[in-house]
Structure 1
Amino acid sequence: MPMSDKGLSAPDQASLLRVPRPALLPSLAEALGERPSADEAFPVDKAALRLRIALLMLTMDVLFLSASYGVLALVRRPGRLVFSDTHMVALVSLFLLIAINTKVYGFEAISNFSTSLRRGWGALSLALFIMASAVMLFVPHGISAIAGLALLAPCGMIGLFVVRRFTAWRARALMPDGPTNKLVVCDGVDRAAKPGEFVVCVREAGIQPSMDDPLMLDRIGRLARRADRIVVCCPPERREAWITALRGTGVDVELILPELCALQPLGLQHFDGATTIMVTRGHLSPRDRMVKRALDLGVAIVLLPVLLLATLVIAVLIKLDDGGPVFFVQKRVGQGNRLFNLYKFRTMRVGQLDRDGAQSTRRDDERVTPIGRILRSSSLDELPQFFNVLNGDMSLVGPRPHALGSLAGEALFWEVDQRYWHRHAAKPGLTGLAQVRGFRGSTAASSDLTNRLQADLEYVANWSLRHDVRIILATFSVLVHRNAY
């Protein structure tokens, strides 16, 4: 049965931390029946708004260029237009290709009118130059097309100016406090919030950078939801703890520093007149997230009819087997270290379900039902996670999500290597690089986790769409695996 989503108070979470570790897992099992409160810092997703403005700008650019061509169509020579439909389609396609590659619709262009106009005019000028050169070289008697381009240039420039004035006004209306959400974490430092900032005083909020408390990391992950930038103000002795706790949020994280120190910075930045160093970057850019989400939805929707039919058949088999519930729902750690409900077909006997995941399934495990053994060996028990993909909690490809109580030998996963939390910068996946390399099954020793963690961190650091497609294709060869039991 699914667990309740009722909030867990900060004092109750703190009491969990005072329990000795051997008793921690049973306490977590009880606590996770009540989901931590959703501490949302930003009600507006500005990344989504910026994407909408970029798409609006792109659409209006195309419409204005097309309208300019419509005006030119009224200027005729006897029996023919000065500029053909083919020429116009080629010009618009060339402009869009150049514009996208020169970041005409990127973040800087969306947030700054002059940058947007300069890049837009530059892309159109280059497209017109390339088009005119091609016409002169390859089109016989193309003087009328050249004349059309000459007339189109000022019309297009005026159109781009109007579009950017309108989108700049629209951006200010939708985001009056600025184009980004900035989460400022103040630990031992007082700071008043400025427009676009959400300031969290950790003492008043009752949060700490504890790497041994999944519930606390869940609260931090919820605060970081929709944040474009996290800036940390803290004493020197607390910097490393906050860096470690925030790496898994999947958001750009910076430290305000009065001096530079050896924290493996990615680059220097500036925030409110202070020098900061970049200590981690978000997993994917907004464009890459959109591409990855499109792949997820495209594949999941195409497979949905087959998935529904398979779900119906497997549900009947499970009911005939022992009459128990069809689905097994378990809390797993997802993107940004946020907890979510993962769905699987139930493969264990009702009275022996392991909701904490503390005991890995063994070969010939007596807890597994006869039909469950078939489902697990063929990986069909994972099919309901396509609904997690449709819901946005998971992706087709990413680090596999684990239960909080999962053990590598006698240690919890994050006790073996605290880099474990960093893998959650990416959305968890149905399959991943670790799985196609054969790292699956029980984690009887710490090395079993280390191999998977290294593969997951490699995936997070080197994501590409082509890499995702390769992993999806490679997954078919490991659906039936000697370690799948």
Structure 2
Amino acid sequence: MATLAQSSISPAPPPEAEDAASLRRRLAEELRRGTEGPGASSGAPKADLSPEATAIADSLRTDGVSLPVLEGSVRLIDGALVLATGLAALAATVGLDGLSPLSGGLLAASVLFALAFFQAFDCYQVSVMRAVFAQVGRIASGWTLVFAMVAIALVTTPLGESIASPWLGLWYAGGLVTLAAARLLVSRRIRTWMAQGRLERRAVIVGGGSAAADLIHELESQPDNDIRICGIFDDRASDRSPPVVAGYPKLGNIDALVEFARLARIDMLIVCIPVRAEQRVLELLRKLWVLPIDIRLSAHTDKLRFRSRASSFIGTVPFIDVVEKPITNWDMVAKRVFDIVFASAALVALSPVMLATALAIKLDSRGPVLFRQKRYGFNNEIIEVLKFRSMYHEMADPDAKRVVTKGDPRVTRVGRFIRRASIDELPQLFNVLSGELSLVGPRPHAVNAHTDNKTWDEVVYGYYARHKVKPGVTGWAQINGWRGEVDTPEKIQKRVECDLYYIENWSIPFDLYILVMTPIRLLNTENAY
């Protein structure tokens, strides 16, 4: 299974010396056994949400802000401002012609020391960045300390003879003003995000009763707690799981939780079930692992001692990290930048091909140039994907009720060529720029796609796990030969296996490799028609 540890099952160690990694491996191995080969539908059947659950989900549709990305971005802004004000002050005093290796080295060293001192003064903690006067005071102290070190170096070494004092004075004053102004803007933005609840980690408790109540009280007692409990879901009857636990409502059963997590932007599922109840935990994971959400198993009520990096803490509350959301924080930023840069370049380079294709379609048959089809996107969201029209307009099949087969009479003369060469997919570069698709990822499938009169989630166990990342214009399955007609359960099974492998092993170099290999693999048109 993607994002779970891999190993064979081993006998459970004594509870008092439980190793989080061994428990995680046992759960992963058991779950993986259910994902091998075609099988029954994975995940939970669709369930209707209660009005209360729907209202809460609707209030949580906005994406949260990644704290690592926020803190890193502020660091980048600080470093850029220090460098920019230094260069501006140099230009205003002695001119940029005065930029020597010595002054350049001083600029670089000052940036590094400034960032180090700001870090030492906790200037990148959210609690500090939201406070206007506190953070400006810390920034001023760190910035002053940098120039105190510079002054000492100039006085005690021969460097003072080569560095102009007016430059340093203007740099100090300009840097202090710009850093303070930037932090005022940062503080304002952070306050807005905090009011919107976007700097909290949104969590759902799985399992109710006294154990959940104890866990919630313990979490809320932690200093600087950023966990927001959004509700509780439990399959048990009300006599064992009351409708309200520690002030939080029970919003439904586990099937309802899957639907809730499709609508709301949830960061974490906390399974509050005894660690020793592995079979029950496994039954829950079989339904929940397809979601693009961190899943943590609470060890609070078991009072176990862990010896593994597979365990983590929120404050002093221990958890086992069972499933991790793929492609988060800076990885997500890197992938988005990769998509924008390469999709933009591809649009420019391929624009003659796209224009010629559009003209050929118009000359070949009546109807629009583009074809729009609803497909599954990230987290099962329905997106509208663009393609060059390859069928006769009156025979178009936006609902994918019929699989395209060899010699299909619905496909036009131009359509046969552009489908074999995958030119019909090129308009999806616009989907990439709009953020609905990624350049590389599992291919988006039509909502009603089916084989042997079964939808693909009924054919392949774990099918929806391929939606834990954005779909792509090309993918690992496609360069391994799994493209074109899907007329047997094995073909969709192999595609899903490739998709899950990609998700589990994602990296920017992996994306680049798939992108480079795609045009080479397109030379094989055996199953494309």
* 1:46 partner amino acid: G
Deviation at 1:48, TM superposition (A): 5.8
Separation in structure 2 between the aligned mates of residue 71 and residue 347 of structure 1, nearest angstrom: 60
> Quick one: structure 1 residues 53 and 312, their matched pair in 2 at CA, closer, same or farther if it must change by over 3 Å?
same
State the Cα deviation string for residues 53-86 of structure 1 (Å, max 9, x = none): 5323322244346657999999x9xx9xxx9653
Which residue matches 1:28? none
Instruction: Give the AA of the match of 2:362.
Output: K
Task: Tell me the CA shift for residue 406 of structure 1.
Answer: 2.7
Give how far 1:50 is off: 6.2
**d(CA) in 1 for partners of 2:188, 2:315:** 25
User: What is the aligned partner in structure 2 of residue 4 from structure 1?
Assistant: none
Farther-moved stretch of structure 1 (403-412 vs 193-202): 193-202
Give the counterpart letter for 1:250 in structure 2.
Answer: P
> Quick check: 2:79–2:111 contact (8 Å CA) kept in 1?
no
Residue number among 194, 209, 212 corresponding to 1:175 in the alignment: 194
Judging changes above 3 Å, is the alpha-carbon distance between structure 1 residues 141 and 296 closer, same or farther for their aligned structure 2 residues? same
User: Which residue number corresponds to residue 404 of structure 1?
Assistant: 447
Matches within 5 A, 1:70-81: none
1: CA distance between counterparts of 2:468 and 2:105? 40
Displacement after TM superposition at 1:398 (Å): 0.8
Task: Give the corresponding residue for 2:481.
Answer: 438
1:440: Cα distance to partner? 1.3
CA RMSD of aligned residues (A): 5.3
Aligned AA for 2:200? T
Hey, what does 2:15 align to over in structure 1? none
Q: Deviations over 1:70-108 (max 9, x none)?
A: 99999x9xx9xxx9653454455578789999x979x99
Matched residue of 1:396: which SS?
A: strand
The aligned runs of 1:305-316 (5 Å cut-off) are: 305=348, 310-316=353-359
From 297, 301, 304, the equivalent of 1:255 is: 297
Paired AA for residue 303 in structure 1 = A
Matches within 5 A, 1:87-166: 87-90=102-105, 93=108, 109-111=124-126
Q: Check whether the contact 1:65–1:159 (CA below 8 A) recurs between aligned residues.
A: no
Q: Structure 1's 159 and 320: CA in aligned 2 closer, same or farther, altered over 3 A?
A: closer
TM-score normalized with structure 1 length = 0.67
CA–CA distance in 1 between the matches of 2:203 and 2:84? 42
- Give 2:228's match in structure 1, choosing from 191, 197, 201: 197
Count residues in correspondence: 430
Q: Distance in 1 between matches of 2:432 and 2:312?
A: 35
Report the counterpart of residue 332 of structure 1 in structure 2.
375
In structure 1, what is the Cα distance between the partners aligned to 2:428 and 2:114? Answer: 38
Aligned equivalent of 2:17: none
CA contact (8 A) 2:367 2:393 kept: yes
Q: Which residue of 2 aligns with 1:63?
A: 81
Amino acid at match of 1:448: K
SS of alignment partner, residue 276 of structure 1: strand
**Residue of structure 1 in register with 2:23 after alignment:** none
Change (3 A) 1:260 1:46: same
1:472 and 2:515 equivalent? yes
- For the pair 1:353 / 2:396, whether they are aligned, the reply is yes
Contact 2:78–2:115, Cα closer than 8 Å, also in 1: no
How far residue 293 of structure 1 moved from its aligned partner, in angstroms, is 0.9
Letter in 2 for 1:403: A
Which sits farther off after the overlay, 269-278 or 385-394? Answer: 269-278
Deviations 1:367-405 (A, max 9, x none): 222221111011011112111101101011111111233
Runs of at least 5 residues in structure 2 that lack an aligned partner in the other structure:
1-40, 42-53, 130-134, 151-156, 221-225, 235-249
Per-residue Cα deviation, 1:96-125 (whole angstroms, up to 9, x for no partner):
789999x979x99544659xx9xx9xx99x
- Which residue number in structure 1 is paired with residue 4 of structure 2? none
Distance 2:58 2:518 in 1: 36
SS of the aligned residue for 2:78 comes to helix
- Partner of 1:175, secondary structure, is helix
Q: Distance in 2 between matches of 1:413 and 1:296?
A: 28
Query: 2: distance between equivalents of 1:260 and 1:436?
Result: 48
What SS does the aligned partner of 1:221 have? helix
Does residue 280 of structure 1 match 2:319?
A: no
1:86 to 97, 101, 106: 101
Q: Secondary structure at the match of 1:47?
A: coil
SS of the equivalent of 2:73 reads helix
Which sits farther off after the overlay, 450-459 or 192-201?
192-201
